Amino acid sequence: MSSISRIRPATIADAALCAALYAPHVRAGTGTFEIEPPDAIEMAARIDRILSRGWPWLVREAADGRLLGFAYAGQFRDRAAYVRTAETSVYVAEGETGRGHGRALMEALLDAARRAGFRTFVAVVGHSANLASVALHRSLGFREVGRLARVGEKFGRRLDVVIMQRDDCTGDGQQPG
């Protein structure tokens, strides 16, 4: 793989590539609890929902145009009280994990999400055995704040969810101490 890649804002035109990258995570992984992979039309609708609200959806692409990963942030819950709290998600292409793509995407995503007005970030890590995702988030300043035992069911197994959080400022705008 060439070391030349770039991170840029996604567009609706990226939907098919995002859907293709995400499908193996749905079919064989426990990092998402979706059972059926969304098609390009559904992925376009998801991208549009995020972008139309001014929230970030980023893609990392190789110099040859291959999609290496994507990440996005949206309001944690649909209530006014959560207007400054984002839930983050990141997915890396098969065969590209462990090469820094997820970290680069998350760093860029956190910056973009702060510019969009978010100050608290939540990661809902599917399956507590997803140690790479937990480690990535921890390395970026997230801390585990909860674990929901056996709330998801996939591949005939009941799975935990790890809730991680990063606060970039307190309610008065000050950085946490």
Judged by DSSP in three states, 72 sits in strand
Measured distance CA(138)–CA(146) in Å, rounded: 14
Task: Tell whether the model's pLDDT for residue 2 goes beyond 80.
Answer: no
* Strand residue runs (E) in 26-92: 57-62, 67-75, 85-92
pLDDT given for residue 3 in this prediction: 65
Q: Is 8 exposed, middle or buried (0-12, 13-18, 19+ CB in 10 A)?
A: exposed
Which residue ranges make up each domain of the chain?
Answer: 7-167
pLDDT given for residue 17 in this prediction: 98
pLDDT band at 177 (very low <50, low <70, confident <90, very high): very low
Which of 49, 146, 130, 39 has the alpha carbon at shortest distance from 92?
Answer: 130
Measured distance CA(27)–CA(51) in Å, rounded: 26
pLDDT in tens, 28-78: 999 999 999 999 999 999 999 999 999 999 999 999 999 999 999 999 999
CATH number assigned to the domain covering 7-167: 3.40.630.30
Percent of the chain with pLDDT over 90: 87
Residue located via tokens 């970026």: 140
Task: Tell whether the model's pLDDT for residue 174 goes beyond 60.
Answer: no
Percent of the chain with pLDDT over 70: 93
pLDDT in tens, 70-103: 999 999 999 999 999 999 999 999 999 999 999 9
